[in-house]
A and B are shown apart, each in its own frame.
Chain A
Amino acid sequence: MKNQAIPRLTAKVLIPPILLFALYVQFHGDFGPGGGFQAGVIFAAAFVLYALINGVKATQEVVSMRTLEIGIASGVLLYAGVGVYTMLQGAEYLNYNAIDPTHPVHGQHLGILLVELGVGITVASVMATIFLVFANRARRNA
């Protein structure tokens, strides 16, 4: 679709708001609908749109497969790490109260924010990876 002006321009206009909306859904999940899963999928959708317009190769220059692989693992590690941290603080695994013992509600807020961020990073990386791998294989077969 490299030479089609309208899809290219539409994507150019749409991609920044999509990324911004994903971040809004990610960090506003405490107050409205949404959270890490939805935010990750929306974030990945921006990359899918970019790949549809500019091709897989150009997308991999923006974000390499290596970066995505690190993203996949680091989201889960962040989530599990929060649990390990609460254990080191002497509480149960994933008991966020222990993050801020003097103010458990703050601990809960921070814990939920961090694990949702972990979910978001993993889901976004996974969705982008799966699409790019499929598209890459299709390009090679063609």
Chain B
Amino acid sequence: MIPLIDAALLVFMAVITIVIIRHHGLFTVVMLTGIFSLLSAGLFTVMDAVDVAFTEASVGAGISTVLMLAAIALTTSEEKVVKSGRLLGLAVAIGVGAVLIYGTMDLPAFGDAAAPIHHHVAPKYIASPGEFDIPNMVTTVLASYRGYDTLGETTVVMTAAIGVLLLLGGKENEEDAS
């Protein structure tokens, strides 16, 4: 059953990607990227990564879509069509894609118990719900073992807001009114 769901989700994602490339109306494209995020959230759920799926659904499919729509309202809703250099772009994209696929050939298979990532600190993290008495080990890793990283991520989010406030958040003045 699961391979069937995987296949269906991936086919949908592939189709949406092609439509995004072919379509020039940015409103439609933003909506499709939201659906793409929702589908990848479904994919993460199938892979038992519910926390990641939750983030993808709320940030990727939710807030990002709204922010992109807000950006469209500020700029334009038509893509500027570029005619020159398209073959070069295609060649670069195919080249990079081929290199990436070649790179993944060395990766251990999904769920492989012998993969290096399952033999470093992971066993300790998986035992941690007993140590901290917290059932969700994602929370213990995120907030406790990797507390520094999460502090850094929160600071990055804050920095993003400061950047937006500095660029667009100024008070209304004579120059803007004209």
The answer, among B73, B140, B154, for a CB contact under 8 Å with A123, is B154
- B28 interface residue (CB < 8 Å to A): no
| Complex Cα–Cα for A36 and B74 (A) | 30
- Whether B160 lies near A130 (C-beta < 8 A) is yes
Task: Give the Cβ gap from A124 to chain B, nearest Cβ, in Å.
Answer: 10
Among residues 53 to 103 in chain B, which have CB atoms less than 8 Å away from a CB atom of chain A?
53-55, 58-59, 62-63, 66-67, 70-71, 73-74
| Complex Cα–Cα for A93 and B150 (A) | 13
> Which of B108-116, B119-127, B161-169 binds A?
B161-169
> Which of B14-22, B31-39, B130-138 binds A?
B130-138
- B142 interface residue (CB < 8 Å to A): yes
* Interface class of chain B by DSSP: helix
Contact flag A109-B134 (CB < 8 Å), given A79-B151, A134-B168: yes
Contact flag A35-B62 (CB < 8 Å), given A111-B144, A130-B161: no
Contact flag A29-B150 (CB < 8 Å), given A69-B165, A123-B157: no
- Whether B144 lies near A112 (C-beta < 8 A) is yes
The answer, among B134, B157, B169, for a CB contact under 8 Å with A65, is B169
Number of interface residues of A (CB under 8 A): 53
- A115 interface residue (CB < 8 Å to B): yes
Closest to A137 in B: B168
Contact flag A131-B70 (CB < 8 Å), given A31-B135, A109-B133, A137-B168: yes
B168 proximity list for chain A (CB < 8 A)? 133-134, 136-137
| Complex Cα–Cα for A70 and B151 (A) | 18
- B25 interface residue (CB < 8 Å to A): no
- B105 interface residue (CB < 8 Å to A): no
B: contact size bracket: 35 or more
B51 proximity list for chain A (CB < 8 A)? 33-35, 38
Task: Give the Cβ gap from A125 to chain B, nearest Cβ, in Å.
Answer: 7
The answer, among A29, A38, A44, for a CB contact under 8 Å with B136, is A29
- Whether A29 lies near B139 (C-beta < 8 A) is yes
The answer, among A30, A126, A141, for a CB contact under 8 Å with B139, is A30
Closest to A28 in B: B136
A141 proximity list for chain B (CB < 8 A)? 74
| Complex Cα–Cα for A130 and B140 (A) | 29
The answer, among B58, B73, B136, B165, for a CB contact under 8 Å with A41, is B58
| Complex Cα–Cα for A69 and B154 (A) | 14
Question: Digit string of A41-69 for contact with B (CB within 8 Å is 1, else 0)?
Answer: 11011001000000000000000010001
Task: Give the Cβ gap from B7 to chain A, nearest Cβ, in Å.
Answer: 25
- Whether A115 lies near B70 (C-beta < 8 A) is no
A83 proximity list for chain B (CB < 8 A)? 147, 151
Task: Give the Cβ gap from A62 to chain B, nearest Cβ, in Å.
Answer: 18
- A76 interface residue (CB < 8 Å to B): yes
| Complex Cα–Cα for A32 and B155 (A) | 25
Top 4 nearest A-B pairs (CB, nearest first) are A134-B70, A126-B161, A94-B147, A33-B50
